[in-house]
Amino acid sequence: VNSPLREFAKWIVPYHVWNRLRQKRLDAGRARQLSATLSSAKADEYTCAAAIDFLVSLGCDHAQVVAGSMPQMSLDYARTFLPADARRGLHVGNFVGVSLAYFIHALGGASVVVAVDPNIVHRGIANPASRVLALLEHFELENNCLLLTGYSLERSVANDGRDYAGGFATTEAFATEPSCAQVLPQLTRLAPATFDFAVMDGNHDGIYLRRELACIVTLLRPGGVLVLDDVSSEWFEIERVYEEIGSELFEKLGTDGRVGVLRKRIAN
């Protein structure tokens, strides 16, 4: 609120001096507001178990988070194959952020991970991107992530067409959950041969995944690593895609019964 004295001063102080004083007041106010919103609590060391505990503390269902996220053992397995100098990652299928935060944490402060997900209800959890953001902030990983809200290709069916959490109506979600689409083809225009690794865990339709991989080949740099989740008999479509990937494009590095890891050939 401007006091009468301030109103008067405004007319006798030179304009540029007056603006400097106003700027100082504005800056001090912004700094006060910011420090009041920043948590001083030190983030915990990142593990999937700590991430899941945090997500449950936000109200997420424990069983759905565990069942819908890649397990720590498979993440640890996939990590061993990442290039030693890996800094730029692409992550498709975030859900509530467990595997995404894992990779950002594993890569460290110089990394950037582009994370693609349409932010539609998944396993009964609405607005999962809000949980991803909370998780990243909690573990102080928010400086190293670019969240892209959209489908990797065209709009695809939610929940892999399954009713994981009960009472899910795909048709309703279609009408009420807008999102962007065609993220991967657009990225190929912006950042070809850029990513040191890509993690694919979005739509589990085999034909869709094959088409996503056509973009991934362009987006990975030569020698870049591809991690496919759910290369297992439960997801036989994905298992088949993994088996059929041509050796002229990728060298298969291994599978632990859950994730399949491949390396893009240097010359193809």
Assess contact for 209 and 200: CB atoms under 8 A: yes
**Binding residue for ligand SAM, selected from 64, 144, 203, 255, defined by CB under 6 A:** 203
CB of 5 to ligand SAM, least distance (A): 57
Nearer CB in complex with ligand SAM: 74/111: 74
Query: How would DSSP label each residue in 189-248?
Result: HH-TT-EEEEEE-S---HHHHHHHHHHHHHHEEEEEEEEES--SGGGHHHHHHHHHS-TT
The residues near 141 (Cβ < 8 Å, ≥ 6 apart) are: 46, 101, 104, 105, 135
**Binding residue for ligand SAM, selected from 202, 219, 261, 264, defined by CB under 6 A:** 202
**Binding residue for ligand SAM, selected from 69, 111, 144, 255, defined by CB under 6 A:** 69
Alpha carbons 258 and 71: distance in angstroms, whole number: 9
Among the residue ranges 5-13, 34-42, 189-197, 201-209, the one whose residues contact ligand SAM (CB under 6 A)? 201-209
**Binding residue for ligand SAM, selected from 64, 94, 111, 144, defined by CB under 6 A:** 94
- β 145-149/112-117 pair status: parallel
CB of 122 to ligand SAM, least distance (A): 4
Alpha carbons 99 and 115: distance in angstroms, whole number: 11
For the segment 118-147, give every residue that binds ligand SAM (CB under 6 A). 118, 120, 122, 128
Backbone angles phi, psi at 251, to 5 degrees: -100, 130
Assess contact for 226 and 252: CB atoms under 8 A: no
Using rule CB under 6 A, residue 117 touches ligand SAM: yes
Structure tokens at 196: 């040191």
CB of 151 to ligand SAM, least distance (A): 4
Using rule CB under 6 A, residue 98 touches ligand SAM: yes
Helix (H, G, I), strand (E, B) or coil at 119: coil
Using rule CB under 6 A, residue 92 touches ligand SAM: yes
Among the residue ranges 54-62, 76-84, 137-145, 195-203, the one whose residues contact ligand SAM (CB under 6 A)? 195-203
Among the residue ranges 17-25, 38-46, 165-173, 197-205, the one whose residues contact ligand SAM (CB under 6 A)? 197-205
Residues of the shown chain interacting with ligand SAM in the complex, contacts defined by CB under 6 A: 68-70, 92-95, 98-99, 116-118, 120, 122, 128, 151-152, 156, 201-203
